[in-house]
């Protein structure tokens, strides 16, 4: 007979030897710490967020001050990352642009969640015509190429950052909707839901008290991935000049305005490009790590 023990395989993190069973959070932290790349990525994201948050302290120049005579300088002692086409300090602008890029990603993801999750819960739990109607709408939205849909929405609204983020939020909503609906469908057939219903629990109480907590894990993974793609989406829209409006800039708009000077001043393209690359990559790696650390543990039989 094979005994299955909850102990992890040799070499993995140690199971704490206490009497109390491990809480889900402790278990997540223990497992996440095993995901080395994800830990590194997490540190990167924290650093990027800190840099953005502390931009006023870290910046060496006012990000909007132009010295036209000092335009297109290569990186030097005075301007660590050089100057842009209007003679502004690229290092300082990069910090402030990071604020906008990250804030934009948070906004977009929040809008996606706010739209997608409640509707997904409703569709999955209530089934019937609610599910049919909402699912078809989600299918319709997903069938439109994401960037085109976002551009169309920005075109209808004012071209600024908030519109761009609403647009990206709308693009995201069906993804959150589908994910939530799928988890809800799986959970609603469980016996504990039946039990809750049989003691007179309202739909609302059951959804918030029992269904949502059980559908959360995949959502957390999706949020991390969505953050990364939101930065990329925002960059694309601002690259096209439809997102953030001057004098503010995001990494995408810094990149967009600089492609003209690629031959003369490649650093203007490379620096915001790298910022986008590193941050998006970090969010994706975190997403992978979170996915592997949540949900059912892959347990291995003892020898």
Partner 1 sequence: MAWITPVKGDEMRIRMLSVVMAAALVTAACGGSDGDSGTGGGSGSSAGPADEDATLRFSFGTPAGSNYDPATTTNQFVNVYLYPVYDRLVDVTPEGELQPMLAESWEFTDDDRTLRLTLREGVVFHDGTPFDAEAVKANIDRAKSLPNSSLKADLAAVSEVVVVDERTVDLRLGAPAGSLPALLADRAGMMVSPAAFGNPDLDLQPVGTGPYRVTEHQPGVVIRYERSADYWAPDVQTLGGLEIQMQLDPEVRLRSVSGGQADATQLNPDQVEAAEGPGVTVDSAPSLGSFTLFLNKSGPALSDQRVREAISLAIDRQGISDALQAGRCTPSAQLFPEDYWAHNPDIEAPEYDPDRARELLAEAGQSDLSLNAVVINVPFYTAQLEAIQAQLAEVGVDLTVTSLEPTELLSRFVGGEADMYFSNWPGATDPAKTVATLLSAQGTLNPGGYTNPEIDRLALEGLSATTQEDRAPAYQELSEVMVEDATQIVVCNATNTFVHTEQVSGLESTLTGLFDFRGVTVSA
Q: From the list 235, 282, 286, 294, which residue makes contact with partner 1 (rule: CB under 8 A)?
A: 235
- Give DSSP secondary structure letters for 191-247: HHHHHHHHTT--HHHHIIIIIHHHHHHHHHHHHHHHHHHHHHHHHHHHHTTSSS-TT
26 binds partner 1 (CB under 8 A): no
Name the minimum Å distance from CB 246 to partner 1.
5
152 binds partner 1 (CB under 8 A): no
Please, which residue, 162 or 245, has the CB nearer to partner 1? 245
Name the minimum Å distance from CB 160 to partner 1.
8
The DSSP element (H or E) to which 98 belongs, if any, is helix 90-126
| Sign for the pseudo-dihedral over CA of 39, 44, 50, 52 | negative
30 binds partner 1 (CB under 8 A): no
149 binds partner 1 (CB under 8 A): no
Half-sphere exposure of 97 (CA within 13 A, CB side): 33
145 binds partner 1 (CB under 8 A): no
Please, which residue, 73 or 293, has the CB nearer to partner 1? 73
277 binds partner 1 (CB under 8 A): yes
Task: Say how far apart CA 277 and CA 284 lie, in whole Å.
Answer: 11
263 binds partner 1 (CB under 8 A): yes
Task: Say how far apart CA 202 and CA 110 lie, in whole Å.
Answer: 27
Are the C-beta atoms of residues 253 and 263 closer than 8 Å to each other? no
Q: How many residues does the chain have?
A: 303
Tokens of 22: 């491990």
User: Residue 83 forms beta bridges with which residues?
Assistant: 89
256 binds partner 1 (CB under 8 A): yes
Task: Say how far apart CA 66 and CA 88 lie, in whole Å.
Answer: 5
105 binds partner 1 (CB under 8 A): no
284 binds partner 1 (CB under 8 A): no
Site residues for partner 1, 39-98, by CB under 8 A, read 64-66, 68-69, 71, 85-87
Please, which residue, 22 or 160, has the CB nearer to partner 1? 160
156 binds partner 1 (CB under 8 A): no
Please, which residue, 22 or 288, has the CB nearer to partner 1? 288
Please, which residue, 150 or 294, has the CB nearer to partner 1? 150
118 binds partner 1 (CB under 8 A): no
Alpha-carbon distances of 228 from 19, 104, 222, 234, rounded to whole Å? 40, 11, 10, 10
157 binds partner 1 (CB under 8 A): no
Are the C-beta atoms of residues 184 and 116 closer than 8 Å to each other? no
Please, which residue, 273 or 289, has the CB nearer to partner 1? 273
Contact residues for partner 1, defined by CB under 8 A: 64-66, 68-69, 71, 85-87, 147, 155, 158-160, 232, 235-236, 239-242, 245-247, 251-252, 255-257, 259-260, 262-264, 266, 269-270, 273, 276-277, 280
């Amino acid at each position: 007979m094979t005994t299955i023990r909850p102990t992890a395989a040799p070499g993995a993190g140690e199971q704490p030897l206490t009497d109390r069973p491990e809480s889900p959070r402790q278990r997540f932290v223990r497992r996440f710490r095993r995901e080395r790349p994800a830990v590194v990525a997490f540190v990167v994201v924290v650093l990027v967020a800190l840099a953005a948050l502390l931009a006023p302290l870290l910046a060496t120049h006012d990000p909007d001050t132009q010295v036209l005579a000092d335009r297109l300088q290569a990186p030097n002692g005075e301007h660590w990352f050089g100057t842009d086409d209007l003679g502004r300090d690229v290092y300082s602008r990069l910090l402030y642009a990071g604020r906008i890029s990250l804030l934009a990603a948070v906004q977009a993801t929040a809008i996606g969640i706010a739209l997608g999750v409640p509707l997904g819960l409703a569709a999955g739990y209530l089934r019937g015509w609610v599910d049919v109607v909402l699912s078809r709408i989600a299918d319709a939205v997903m069938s439109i190429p994401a960037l085109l849909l976002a551009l169309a929405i920005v075109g209808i609204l004012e071209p600024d950052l908030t519109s761009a983020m609403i647009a990206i939020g709308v693009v995201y909503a069906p993804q959150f909707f589908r994910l939530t609906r799928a988890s809800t469908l799986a959970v609603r057939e469980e016996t504990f839901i039946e039990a809750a219903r049989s003691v007179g629990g309202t739909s609302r109480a059951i959804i918030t008290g029992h269904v949502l907590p059980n559908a959360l894990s995949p959502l957390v993974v999706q949020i991390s991935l969505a953050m990364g793609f939101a930065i990329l989406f925002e960059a694309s829209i601002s690259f096209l000049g439809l997102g953030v409006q001057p004098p503010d800039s995001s990494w995408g708009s810094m990149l967009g305005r600089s492609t003209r000077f690629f031959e003369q001043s490649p650093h203007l393209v490379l620096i915001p490009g790298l910022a986008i690359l590193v941050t998006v990559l970090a969010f994706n790696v975190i997403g992978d790590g979170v996915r592997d650390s949540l949900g059912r543990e892959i347990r291995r039989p003892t020898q």
